[in-house]
Amino acid sequence: MEKQQLMAAIVAESQTIDTVIGDDIDRLQGTVDPLLTEVLRYGLLQGGKRVRPLLVVLAARICGCNSRDVYSLATAFEYLHAATLFHDDVIDNADTRRGHPSVYKKFGIISAILAGDFLHARSMEIVGKLVGDEGLRVFCGATAGMVDGEFMQLRNASQLNLSELDYYDAIMGKTGVLIAASCEVGAIYGGASPEQRMALRDYGVGLGCAFQMVDDLLDYNGDQVNTGKAVGNDLAEGKMTLPLIIALSRADQADKEELEKIIASPEHREAGFDKVHRLIVKYDGFTETRHRAEEAVAKAVKALEIFGDETASAEKDVLIGLAYYVLSRNK
């Protein structure tokens, strides 16, 4: 699928998802506090890639389901994702999100936390209603995995953990499990066979890993105008992302000691971004991370080979195109 066609398909689906989200917020009016609906509208409809809800829709369709209700199911995954962003921005003291003031900066910490809690509850209600116990089990497993991934990342940072295996476990929790669950729950809703369900989950795992690795690259090399957030956040927070892990594992003793000195101190991290960036370049940390992301995408695409039916070719093309788009995204 040509990139222009892919982007047109993504934009069209994203607009439909936004409409469904807006309608859902409208239905809440009169049943919840007006401030809550204001926070939700601001936090949910200020842009975003809509990758997770799009995957729900595509996974259901590739399995032969064309029900419009799949869009309602898809919103549950955007709601959970948004809930984590509301809370993450409080934790990270982030001023902006998607080029706008973060929810907590605009409405305060209490409103951001409570709105995130509401979205979590709302998302579980939707999944339970539309996919039942099995879908809810997958969904709740992803939620628990996300929390565990954040704890693992905290531990990796505090211990200067250079284990790539622990890094992969952490990013699966942070990003991979929800993307994989989006595909798997969409497959369940679409009536997938066990083989199709596993294939779509495997696709989501590969896509999620690649997505996070590209995020790692953008945090060092991205353009704030495109990403909507300042570069260097991960380093400032002491996060052990893959480019840094690779550089540390390859550095000579002097450079390794220099990197460890910078990472160990918040003040040094704040002032040492340029030096860390140069050392990551020196030891091919960015190049190798890109290579790992490409490998993850290749595995994701290979998982889709089970879908050979021509009736699903359009959805398969979009899923393949989306995987390669992740590698080229700049925000």
Can you list the domains of the chain with their CATH numbers? Answer: 3-328 (1.10.600.10)
Highest mean pLDDT (candidates 91-95, 146-150, 228-232, 272-276): 272-276
Whether residue 154 is predicted with pLDDT greater than 90 in this model: the reply is no
In tens, the pLDDT along 44-95 reads 998 777 999 999 999 999 999 989 999 999 999 999 999 999 999 998 888 8
State pLDDT tens for residues 18-27. Answer: 999 999 999 9
pTM as predicted = 0.89
pLDDT, mean of residues 199-203:
97
Instruction: For residues 112-117, give the mean pLDDT.
Output: 97
Share of the chain above pLDDT 70, in %: 95
pLDDT at 3 over 80: no
Does the pLDDT value for residue 173 go beyond 80? no
Q: Sorting pLDDT into bands at 50, 70 and 90, what band is 170?
A: confident
Q: Specify the higher pLDDT residue, 11 or 274.
A: 274
- Could you tell me which residues are beta bridge partners of residue 100? 97
Q: Is 136 left (phi over 0), alpha (psi -120 to 50) or beta?
A: alpha
Distance (Å, whole) CA 128 – CA 137: 9
Span 90-117, average pLDDT:
92
pLDDT of residue 197: 97
pLDDT, mean over the chain: 90
Give the pLDDT score at 314: 85
Residue 116 near residue 87, CB atoms below 8 Å? yes
Among the listed residues 240, 252, 311, 319, the one whose alpha carbon sits nearest the alpha carbon of residue 279: 252
Least confident of 102-106, 120-124, 169-173, 234-238: 169-173
Q: Is the pLDDT of residue 152 over 90?
A: no
Q: What percent of the chain stands above pLDDT 90? A: 66
| Cβ–Cβ < 8 Å for 92, 218 | no
Across the range 292-310, mean pLDDT stands at 92
Predicted confidence at residue 174, as pLDDT, reads 72
Tell me how far apart the alpha carbons of residues 304 and 300 are, in angstroms, rounded to a whole number. 7
